[in-house]
Amino acid sequence: MVTLADVARVAKVSTMTVSKVLRGTGAISEKTKTRVFEAVDELGYVPNRLAGSLSTRKSMLVAVLIPSIADTIYAEIISSLHSLLDQASLSIFIAESQMDPEVEERQVQELLSLRPAFIVRSGGIASTRRTKLLLKRFEVPHIQIWDGDDPQGQVNVGPSHIEAGRIAAGHFLELGLSKVAYIGAETQLDICASRRMESFVAGMTSAGAEVSVITEPDVPRQAESGELLTRQLLENGQKVEGIFYLNDAMAIGGLRVLLNAGCRVPEDVRVLGFNGTSREQTINTRLTTISTDGRRLGRAVAESILDSAGGKIEAINTLCPLTLDLGNTT
Amino acid sequence: MVTLADVARVAKVSTMTVSKVLRGTGAISEKTKTRVFEAVDELGYVPNRLAGSLSTRKSMLVAVLIPSIADTIYAEIISSLHSLLDQASLSIFIAESQMDPEVEERQVQELLSLRPAFIVRSGGIASTRRTKLLLKRFEVPHIQIWDGDDPQGQVNVGPSHIEAGRIAAGHFLELGLSKVAYIGAETQLDICASRRMESFVAGMTSAGAEVSVITEPDVPRQAESGELLTRQLLENGQKVEGIFYLNDAMAIGGLRVLLNAGCRVPEDVRVLGFNGTSREQTINTRLTTISTDGRRLGRAVAESILDSAGGKIEAINTLCPLTLDLGNTT
DNA sequence: GATTAATGTGTTATCGATAACAAGTTGAGT
DNA sequence: ACTCAACTTGTTATCGATAACACATTAATC
């Protein structure tokens, strides 16, 4: 493995000089500069950032902890975040908490063991006491995303799920619906989803409407679960005029079941999703959904990081806008 | 920041003893073990893996370089990879090459500067000479994914795109089509896609069928592009009986245009996608597609890594199976 | 030409861990 | 009591870089 010392030897200077040349610090004559660069080129030297970070006591690493990378909305956020941080030579490493507080605790430890300069973490999960303690003790600038309602972190970027629920209820009420349903998944763990649900229920009931809440503890937030729970709803014989789903994937599963059962959408039942991740995937039936712009969220996070001069980061709460995308299911 | 030395002081032992206790190496009496663990707990100590890696000259990092994290198929692969590597305390950090050889070169340098234990890189891109040189010089076990036809890496895991094209052609020929189209995007950069295209064209023409190839240099591989290019095809006045798209997203865009234009699918035109990423998203019209199992691919990669005793990795070429998922568009 | 101020380059200690080996302690066997 | 082995624990050097400062060299000023 080629090291600074090797480059120094070839360029016939000290390691310190090479270090300065490569980082552009200090005053170095043009002559030695070119000599160093030639040596670097000849040897194919790539600096060891592990060693560098150890020495400077600051890393170029940004830790990202989210429930699941496979979830489109998070993939969008990370992609957007990466493309901006890349310009500042900040590397991203990721971990999945799978919405499990225990898993999250372990992941936080793993992440902290790499001494990241920033930690971007999805809120909306009931973190363990130890997790919170660790995050506090390490004093790593902590950016919480996705949970706009709970500005715990030093920086918080995300949509308000309470507002999302309100938008959903407002929309259904405007359409004059009085008997609706919410279909979700593991409520106790996903605080954001339950906030949407509660705010939706509150909005509807306070206007005199009736809401049945259908959630199954351990179903994944996928189309299949949407199918399952919607089928359950239909079998119960309950007639509802509108269904608000936990996310788009479940709404699409639900739509499939409703259409197959001969329900006309939106004439008989209105369907509303959440996240806006179905935009490009649906064909002739365009799902109505409450959407957040993942790329924009990622950009806001990146900007906070890039603006933070020297590690200290200013605490702000950036509420990401929510949009009601009218498709043809309501 | 708490260090090993702090723990050692509190536990009244040497740093070496603490190190041994935490890594479970060497013989340590139960009494000191508990003393050390208590100190660790009291101080909230988390080992510094940067320092550890520097010392042992081996890192617990796996670098992943893919075209785009937002692309569902890669998100699936990474998610699956992560969940398995996590058990071995291997951390994943990612970079996007955006299918650009220059960007890729820069990213490879960034990644190598963290001295990863493994580098997982998407093939099917025309890497620069320097990129190849760097990868060779560093002797990091290199796992190439996605490009099953070109086993360059030490380990290669992915589907054969030549076979995918053959499957597409075979399917259309079986249906008796004689005038079809391929709709894609930036061909010169995405070698895998062009392999699919070429093999598809070869298969069709050798059976006497006629194929028009529609690709625009700089369009993104999204639904909108599928719409655009399909509209172009229709405006040309060409009558085709089947269209094979670069991926599912583009196929779905295409479907939208075809249905709106009054074409009956599949009666007038058959539509075939690639990747299987539309599985859960489509509603009543289920796209026929040639699919690869991203999670399975990720698992294969993880197994290679975990099996590799002590860093050396055995060179194998794992061809991932392709499945023709019959929907109702053919 | 001597003094001062830039400018350019090198020395030494350190970051937080681990490798390799050294040394102290304990107990069994004789 | 003494030796040897097994078991525990500690010392020193090192990984690859950088910080902080020290020392040369050159140029500028009077």
Side by side, the strands of the sheet bearing B270-275 are B210-215, B179-184, B242-245, B270-275, B288-291, B323-325
| Mean pLDDT of the residues in chain B | 93
Measured between beta carbons, the chain A residues lying within 8 angstroms of B75 are: 69-70, 72, 75
Distance in Å, alpha carbon of B208 to nearest chain A alpha carbon: 32
Question: In the 8-state DSSP scheme, what is residue B282?
Answer: -
Asked if B110 and A91 come within 8 Å (Cβ–Cβ), the reply is: yes
What's the pLDDT score for residue A186? Answer: 73
> By C-alpha distance, which of B117, B1, B44, B232 is closest to A57?
B1
Q: Could you tell me the distance in Å between the CA of residue A33 and the C1' of nucleotide D28?
A: 25
What's the pLDDT score for residue B276? Answer: 85
Closest residue (Cα, C1') to C9: A17
pTM (predicted TM-score): 0.94
pLDDT tens profile B100-148: 999 999 999 999 999 999 999 999 999 999 999 999 999 899 999 999 9
What's the pLDDT score for residue B169? Answer: 98
B240 pLDDT more than 90: yes
Measured between beta carbons, the chain A residues lying within 8 angstroms of B50 are: 50, 53-54, 59, 114-115
Let me know: does B202 contact B165? Beta carbons within 8 Å: yes
**Arithmetic mean of pLDDT, A13-20:** 95
pLDDT tens profile B33-88: 999 999 999 999 999 999 999 999 989 999 999 999 999 999 999 999 999 999 99
What's the pLDDT score for residue B280? Answer: 66
Interface test with B, best of A66, A280, A329 (most B CBs within 10 A): A280
What's the pLDDT score for residue B204? Answer: 98
A1 pLDDT more than 80: yes
DSSP A46-89: ---HHHHHHHHT---EEEEEES-TTSHHHHHHHHHHHHHHGGGT
Measured between beta carbons, the chain B residues lying within 8 angstroms of A279 are: 223
Q: Which nucleotides of C are covered by protein (CB under 7 A)?
A: 7-12, 14-20
**Arithmetic mean of pLDDT, B283-305:** 93
Question: What is the rounded CA–CA span in Å between residue A198 and residue A181?
Answer: 12
Q: Which residue of A has its CA nearest to B58?
A: A50
Let me know: does B117 contact B59? Beta carbons within 8 Å: yes
A309 pLDDT more than 80: no
B310 pLDDT more than 70: no
pLDDT tens profile A38-51: 999 999 999 999 99
pLDDT tens profile B189-212: 899 999 999 999 999 999 999 999
Terminal Cα distance for chain A, rounded: 62
Residues 6+ apart with CB under 8 A from A183: A214, A215, A226, A229, A230, A233, A243, A244, A245, A246, A250, A254
Confidence grade of residue B284 (pLDDT, cut at 50, 70, 90): confident
Q: Which nucleotides of D are covered by protein (CB under 7 A)?
A: 7-12, 14-20
Distance in Å, alpha carbon of A142 to nearest chain B alpha carbon: 16
Confidence grade of residue B309 (pLDDT, cut at 50, 70, 90): low
Handedness of CA A306, A308, A313, A317 (dihedral sign): negative
- What length does chain A have? 330
Question: What is the rounded CA–CA span in Å between residue A151 and residue A157?
Answer: 8
Closest residue (Cα, C1') to D14: B55
Distance in Å, alpha carbon of B70 to nearest chain A alpha carbon: 5
Range A262-297 burial, b when 16+ CB lie within 10 A, else e:
ebebbeebbbbbbbbbbbbbbbebbbbbbbbbbeeb
CA angle B173, B175, B177 (to 5 degrees): 60
Q: Pairing between strand A288-291 and A323-325?
A: antiparallel
Please state whether strand C lies within 7 Å of residue B130 at its CB atom.
Answer: no
